[in-house]
Amino acid sequence: MQRPAVIRKSPAELPVTPNLTDYEATRAAFSWETARAELGGLPGGALNIAWEAVDRHVAAGRGSHVAFRFLARDRVPLELSYAELARQSNRFANVLRGLGIGRGERVFVLAGRIPELYVAVLGSLKLGAVVSPLFSAFGPEPIATRINLGAGRVLITTGSLYRRKVERWRAQLSSVEHVLLIADEQDEQRSGGAPAGTHDLHALMAVAAEEFEVERTAADDMALLHFTSGTTGAPKGAVHVHEAAVTHWATGRYALDLHAADVFWCTADPGWVTGTSYGIIAPLLHGVTSVVDSEEFDAERWYAILEAQQVSVWYTAPTAIRMLMKIGPDLRAAYRFPDLRFVASVGEPLNPEAVWWGAEVLGLPIHDNWWQTETGGIMIANLPAFDIKPGSMGRPLPGVEACIVHRDEQTGALTVIDTPDEEGELALRRGWPSMFRAYLHNEERYRKCFAGDLYLTGDLARRDADGYYWFVGRADDVIKSAGHLIGPFEVESVLMEHGAVAEAGVIGKPDPVVGEMVKAFVSLKRGYSWNEALRKELLGHARKKLGAAVAPKEIDCLPALPRTRSGKIMRRLLKARELGLPEGDTSTLEEGAK
């Protein structure tokens, strides 16, 4: 079917008047100072994310409003009001303080989407500690790497995750002094209490005081640590500060169009930045009710949640949308969700077909938006009141100045491109509050992200004559699989640990559902030969160490991997060969490898 290139919007026809109806005027009038003033702040100019997100609503008399509705298979939904969330996070802050943890110290949380994770994140922030939620599908290796990089003093996790992914590696986690365990079903069936060297979190919470005076953190005190991946080297710890809440507040208003009566569902896991910024902070800042589902994707379950929970604003990801598309429209037709009024998506390119599918099958077009771990919050977005050009990420939000730049490879000189439709690197003018303030222990890498007052995103894009931005690709080799950013180096390192592997090169292979699939190439050490058993062994080795979300799905063997003369594996060439694409410039390729 021929579809027009623009989905026209008419604000008057929307069931709720959007928060942003005049793009130019709102941008012109917007200032981050005003946005910040809309949040209360603590006496003396202090700012604490958790106070703004939770206690502020209690102080304003909205304590009985439901903050979270936690869903889990075969369980009655668990509701936490803002007042209860305030009390529980106070208790958690007291637990940490009782263990001698104070401001600036690092707390890691490794858990599924369960209430304790949310309480722990907010309680840690109240104490002024720095919190880092880890993805529970990571294997022991990525977990240990991140905790060690962040010098975590406390780890909160569940009994089963602890036994599977931490216990045997505990000796490597030298900075971790306290492990607080959330007993799960397996523990309930055991007897004898928490394993040696751990505390039972529920027991500590039960005796902790319910009152806690929130620490008066400064706006630029470190609050959150999110790990992200680059092409080379270890993961990078992006440092975010309490002031990031101002971006979460403004973008929650404009890009997600949150209104106080909304029921909001962000499907992202807090182990990734979207699940923290928009699965915890932004909806709480707006005092809305958030639905949190602890289960993995299941089309029927998701439609049932939209219906039963009366979700009004839904923030999800292209992979999930493509999985719903694959299942077909019949299942959708069995559910009714008339309350749903706005759908947004982030994390990877959203194909125009998916936007149209939303309009035709879901009943609402999908609004793509763009941001990254480093930006801490949504920067470019399609908004409810404005036309959508399917395939475009939308336009910069109020307070965000974006541009397209060319970088001269030789001199490093930067030119801002004003001509529409020209490709270049996407850059943002620094100054928005949730901009990352450092890569932990890696000042040089941080500095390289900036040129004057421009932050260079590492994404290639173009802007059209109407100011809409279009994603073109990544300037580096990182892989986006099911919306998760995966560093090829981390995967290659684990493959290299196997006795048979001489070299490893990892690429993202295009996949119609998950965007990119992790594919590895290895060459073998002398004395080993490639066969099915070894392939399976390597797949199993990687899966055990890295976890299912990161491990390669395919492994092939080559006699040798293509390298540059300086010895770097040419992942781009591996990818071009895999996909049968032109090999491009191979002048730097090692002799004999062509």
Where does this chain touch ligand AMP (CB under 6 A) — which range of 130-138, 248-256, 369-377, 560-568? 369-377
348 is a contact residue toward ligand AMP (CB under 6 A): yes
Number of residues that bind ligand AMP (CB under 6 A): 19
Residue 424 neighbours by CB under 8 Å, 6+ apart: 404, 405, 406, 417, 460, 461, 462
**Residue choice 136, 289, 309, 372 for contact with ligand AMP (CB under 6 A):** 372
Tell the smallest beta-carbon distance from residue 280 to ligand AMP (Å). Answer: 15
Residue 29 neighbours by CB under 8 Å, 6+ apart: none
Q: Alpha-carbon distance 156 to 167, whole Å?
A: 13
Cβ closest to ligand AMP, residue 303 vs residue 370: 370
**Residue choice 139, 275, 347, 424 for contact with ligand AMP (CB under 6 A):** 347
Per CB under 6 A, which of residues 451..470 are in contact with ligand AMP?
457, 459
Closest CA to 297 of 116, 549, 553: 549
Where does this chain touch ligand AMP (CB under 6 A) — which range of 98-106, 362-370, 406-414, 494-502? 362-370
Cβ closest to ligand AMP, residue 250 vs residue 428: 428
Per CB under 6 A, which of residues 21..50 are in contact with ligand AMP?
none
Cβ closest to ligand AMP, residue 128 vs residue 318: 318
Tell the smallest beta-carbon distance from residue 101 to ligand AMP (Å). Answer: 28
367 is a contact residue toward ligand AMP (CB under 6 A): no
Closest CA to 121 of 113, 554, 212, 42: 113
Looking at residue 516, its amino acid is: E
Residue with the two structure tokens 């890498």 = 445
Cβ closest to ligand AMP, residue 195 vs residue 458: 458
Token couple for 377: 């919050």
Q: Alpha-carbon distance 557 to 529, whole Å?
A: 9
352 is a contact residue toward ligand AMP (CB under 6 A): no
Closest CA to 214 of 65, 41, 33: 41
Tell the smallest beta-carbon distance from residue 461 to ligand AMP (Å). Answer: 9
The contact pattern for ligand AMP, residues 238-277, with x = CB under 6 A and - = no contact, is: -----------------------------------x----
Per CB under 6 A, which of residues 68..107 are in contact with ligand AMP?
none
Cβ 505 vs Cβ 524: under 8 Å: no
Where does this chain touch ligand AMP (CB under 6 A) — which range of 92-100, 152-160, 363-371, 540-548? 363-371
**Residue choice 370, 432, 468, 469 for contact with ligand AMP (CB under 6 A):** 370
368 is a contact residue toward ligand AMP (CB under 6 A): yes
Tell me, what DSSP letter sits at residue 297?
P
The three-state secondary structure class of 377 is: coil
Cβ closest to ligand AMP, residue 246 vs residue 317: 317
Cβ closest to ligand AMP, residue 86 vs residue 366: 366
- In three state form, how does the secondary structure of 80-109 look? EEHHHHHHHHHHHHHHHHHCCCCCCCEEEE
Q: Alpha-carbon distance 335 to 337, whole Å?
A: 7
Q: Alpha-carbon distance 555 to 402, whole Å?
A: 39
Q: Alpha-carbon distance 432 to 218, whole Å?
A: 16
Cβ closest to ligand AMP, residue 19 vs residue 372: 372
**Residue choice 228, 289, 316, 434 for contact with ligand AMP (CB under 6 A):** 228
Tell the smallest beta-carbon distance from residue 228 to ligand AMP (Å). Answer: 5
Q: Alpha-carbon distance 135 to 316, whole Å?
A: 17
Q: Alpha-carbon distance 159 to 190, whole Å?
A: 11
The contact pattern for ligand AMP, residues 387-406, with x = CB under 6 A and - = no contact, is: ------x-------------
Q: Alpha-carbon distance 326 to 295, whole Å?
A: 20
Where does this chain touch ligand AMP (CB under 6 A) — which range of 50-58, 192-200, 340-348, 521-529? 340-348
314 is a contact residue toward ligand AMP (CB under 6 A): no
Where does this chain touch ligand AMP (CB under 6 A) — which range of 166-174, 367-375, 535-543, 569-577? 367-375
Tell the smallest beta-carbon distance from residue 418 to ligand AMP (Å). Answer: 23
485 is a contact residue toward ligand AMP (CB under 6 A): yes
Q: What is each CA distance from 326 to 156, 361, 365, 464, 503, in whole angstroms? A: 37, 12, 17, 31, 37
Cβ closest to ligand AMP, residue 348 vs residue 490: 348
Q: What is each CA distance from 264 to 258, 341, 343, 451, in whole angstroms? A: 8, 11, 10, 37
Q: Torsions phi, psi of 309, nearest 5?
A: -90, 0
Tell the smallest beta-carbon distance from residue 464 to ligand AMP (Å). Answer: 15
Residue 288 neighbours by CB under 8 Å, 6+ apart: 258, 259, 260, 261, 262, 263, 264, 313
Where does this chain touch ligand AMP (CB under 6 A) — which range of 262-270, 364-372, 406-414, 546-554? 364-372
Per CB under 6 A, which of residues 179..218 are in contact with ligand AMP?
none
Q: Alpha-carbon distance 397 to 374, whole Å?
A: 16
435 is a contact residue toward ligand AMP (CB under 6 A): no
132 is a contact residue toward ligand AMP (CB under 6 A): no
Q: ∠ CA(362), CA(363), CA(365), 5° rounding?
A: 85
**Residue choice 27, 65, 407, 474 for contact with ligand AMP (CB under 6 A):** 474
Cβ closest to ligand AMP, residue 370 vs residue 521: 370
Closest CA to 552 of 512, 504, 513: 504
Closest CA to 146 of 525, 367, 441: 441
Return residues touching ligand AMP (CB under 6 A).
228, 273, 346-350, 368-370, 372-373, 393, 457, 459, 471, 474, 480, 485
